[in-house]
Amino acid sequence: MASHIVGYPRMGPKRELKFALEAFWDGKSSAEELQKVSADLRSSIWKQMSEVGIKYIPSNTFSYYDQVLDTTAMLGAVPDRYSWTGGEIGFDTYFSMARGNASVPAMEMTKWFDTNYHYIVPELGPNTKFSYASHKAVTEYKEAKALGVDTVPVLIGPVTYLLFSKPAKGVEKSFCTLSLLDSVLPIYKEVIAELKAAGATWIQLDEPTLVKDLDSKKLDAFSKAYSELESSLSGLNVVVETYFADVPAEAYKTLTSLKGVTGFGFDLVRGTNTIEHIKSNFPAGKYLFAGVVDGRNIWANDLAASLTILQALEPVVGKDKLVVSTSCSLMHTAVDLVNETKLDDEIKSWLAFAAQKVVEVNALAKALTGTKDEAFFSSNAAALASRRSSPRVTNEEVQKAATALKGSDHRRATPVSARLDAQQKNLNLPILPTTTIGSFPQTVELRRVRREYKANKISEENYTAAIKEEISKVVKLQEELDIDVLVHGEPERNDMVEYFGEQLSGFAFTANGWVQSYGSRCVKPPIIYGDVSRPKPMTVFWSKMAQSMTSRPMKGMLTGPVTILNWSFVRNDQPRFQTCYQIALAIKKEVEDLEAGGIQVIQIDEAALREGLPLRKSEHAFYLDWAVHSFRITNCGIKDTTQIHTHMCYSNFNDIIQSIIDMDADVITIENSRSDEKLLSVFRDGVKYGAGIGPGVYDIHSPRIPSTEEIADRVNKMLAVLDTNILWVNPDCGLKTRKYNEVKPALTNMVSAAKLIRTQLASAK
């Protein structure tokens, strides 16, 4: 019985690639040094899987930024503004597309399906010229082969690539990117031919868009693409991989009828309904890559339950055609539990990171062949039993409080228009008030202070003094810049979710449980293992300290319950909404304590609300109902004069705008600039938004500094569709990933733009 891994984390067990990328971007290391670090990481991953016994080992899942951008490079689909002149795409062009440069902005970045991973959105049009411009897939296959490891090269499939693209700037928004299918297929044929010539016997084409609600035209594109590729694929074994949800019935029929395909991969963790499709109609002689090991969470697999599923599928598919696999790429989970020397032993026994999941996949494959490792299965069963019975998982008081939420929608009693009037009388802000999203640059010195405090190398008194000094610097800078509503810069926080999770019960934390979010950006998701409550205030001390340093309004900064949920590894033994309500009640207590402490503006970030939207439209309403309700719970009991902000970033919000309105926040700041201001289109289409709103005026994920004129132009576009008295001026997102020599001029220009337009508006009266 064979085993397969869809993909593997690329950052390294201790973020080796992150540090190599940042050193290269900062000019502190060469391209050769970056390439050596990446080659060493790939070598270690391939050898690890080979030694465990995995038969189908992926290659070309490594990336310097993201796999969709890699495909854009492979196809030579470089937007004209990057002045690429052809040939093999190098780091300069590649990273300019991802991050922008001094003269041109980056391409749009958005979330990959419903994950916290981001990808760079391809920009295509009828005049896009495609050429084979990155030989990375072939190079990495040969690299692995030279190490004695025969791999399965992985490519984003042609239809998924086109469906995840957008019309380029200047192209009609109605342009159908699928119309370019005939133009991209010749490049795929070239890549496939080179892989065959290099000795590849299997390739994996990822077509995860098949789990979405697709019309017949889009489904026909799959049939057309693979019919066209059939002769090129001849002589190769091809697995088409899907993940993250069930494959709908019509899509399943299309998928399993594709020409030239040897096998099909399904997520049987999040897509359990697909099992019924397989049992009733699986094509004879084809391979089934059964994704029974969860690639998106960190809980140990229930090996006995997975084995039962596999045994039920075996007579349907055939013993020699059933392949045990992960549900999706393991890049969405942490790398290796071996690195967690300080994690609680009991909780650690409940977990499996990527390295452990590879072992689980192989153990299940061996069990199907009759060589079951009884000791391994027994140990697994004991760990699962321990988790079910552990008293630390359940808190009856929390369970009762969450249950008692039923029967109320937890709305604030006064309409938002009246609240805004009361808040303006209290805050006395100018029109087009300026603010930032929360964090300021995290300097090397600041990170050192936090690290030494956690390691007990400096006293709490010295730590507090250092953080106070940093807050004072940030407050002074904002006052010098003449920003209207200030933030304290979050110097005490390494991560917006981790910081809160560390102070809530029911959470556990890792030392090296890093997961890539985009590029070099890594997050370390907390693990929610039990019922959640707030033992004591979390931010009140720092917020009151910051407010005491200025007469201007100081925002209290919190992470909302839905974002804490979606950016954590969540317990899988109760419904997600139940855990979310528990977190909402904990945040509610913090909001009330901030208000009692004199904080008049409180921001409750829900950056990940859109991210958690299910992939199928039939499931949207239920999710949005409990997610929006959770946000309202956090602030339903406060005074009209206390202004509640929220923030969202890097997702497509237009399709959930009514739910955003239903959140009933006083002000929302939302990513806008990097996505070509497509958020504004929803207001052009007639949606009325009565609360305060701050569409981002510049992209903080690029080192590029926008001019005053550029920002003013963006604000004027906003004023064309939004009322002057509700518009705020702010960046797209927090500033922690930027440097002060980027932040200061960018914010200077932002404030100057706001003042320029205030003057213009005043003179026009």
Catalytic residue numbers, as ranges = 701
Please choose, from the candidates 429, 430, 435, 411, the residue with its C-alpha nearest in 3D space to the C-alpha of residue 669. 435
Contact 258, 281 (CB under 8 A): no
Q: Are the C-beta atoms of 132 and 176 separated by less than 8 Å?
A: no
Q: Give CA–CA dist 712/698, Å, rounded.
A: 11
Listed in order, strand segments (DSSP E) in 571-691 are 601-605, 643-648, 667-670
Residue 292's region, left for phi above 0, alpha for psi from -120 to 50, else beta, is alpha
How does DSSP classify residue 150?
-
Consult the annotation and say whether 490 binds a ligand: yes
Q: Can you tell me the distance from the alpha carbon of 588 to that of 419, in angstroms, rounded to the nearest whole number?
A: 19
* 527-533 and 692-695 beta bridge pairing: unpaired
189 a known binding residue?
Answer: no
SS (H, E, C) 737-757: CCCHHHHHHHHHHHHHHHHHH
- 699: helix, strand or coil: coil
136 assigned ligand-binding residue: no
Radius of gyration of the chain (CA): 26
Tell whether residue 447 is among the known ligand binding residues: no
- Residue 521 annotated in ligand binding: yes
Closest CA to 333 of 523, 53, 57: 523
Q: Which residue has the tokens 């159908």?
A: 176
Nearest to 606 by CA among 549, 546, 566, 654: 566
Q: Could you give the CA distance from residue 21 to residue 94 in angstroms, rounded to a whole number? A: 13
* CA atoms of 572 and 558, how far apart (whole Å): 25
H helices of 482-610, where? 496-501, 540-547, 561-566, 576-596
Name the packing angle between helices 31-52 and 16-25 (round to 10°): 170
Q: Is 649 annotated as a binding residue?
A: yes
For the chain, what percentages of helix, strand and coil (3-state, to nearest 5) are there? Answer: 45, 15, 40
Distances (CA, A) of 489 to 199, 437, 543, 749: 54, 9, 10, 19
List strand residue ranges (DSSP E) for 298-399, in order. 322-326
What are the tokens at 551? 């007469």
CB atoms inside a 10 Å sphere around CB 312: 12
Q: Is 612 helix (H, G, I), strand (E, B) or coil?
A: coil
Counting Cα atoms < 13 Å in the Cβ hemisphere of 65 gives 25
580 is in an annotated binding site: no
Q: Are 719 and 757 in contact (CB under 8 A)?
A: yes
- Report how far residue 194's alpha carbon sits from residue 138's, in angstroms, rounded to the nearest whole number: 7
Q: How far is CA 248 from CA 175, 277, 289, 615, in A?
A: 26, 9, 17, 11
Is 733 labelled a binding residue?
yes
Owner of token pair 């202004």: 643
Q: How many CB atoms lie within 10 A of CB 220?
A: 14
- Cβ 121 vs Cβ 188: under 8 Å: no
What is d(CA 550, CA 599) in angstroms, rounded to the nearest whole number? 12
Pairing relationship of beta strands 287-293 and 263-267 according to DSSP bridges: parallel
**Count of all residues that appear for the chain in the document:** 765
Q: Where are any strands of DSSP class E within 389-535?
A: 505-508, 515-518, 521-523, 527-533
CA distance 572 to 528: 9
Cα separation, 49 vs 9, in Å, equals 12
d(CA 701, CA 609): 20
* Alpha-carbon distances, residue 563 vs 337, 496, 587 (angstroms): 25, 9, 12
437 is in an annotated binding site: yes
The binding site consists of 18, 116, 437-439, 490, 521-522, 567, 605, 647, 649, 662, 671, 733
The binding site for Zn(2+) consists of 647, 649, 662, 671, 733
The binding site for 5-methyltetrahydropteroyltri-L-glutamate consists of 18, 116, 521-522, 567
The binding site for L-methionine consists of 437-439, 490, 605
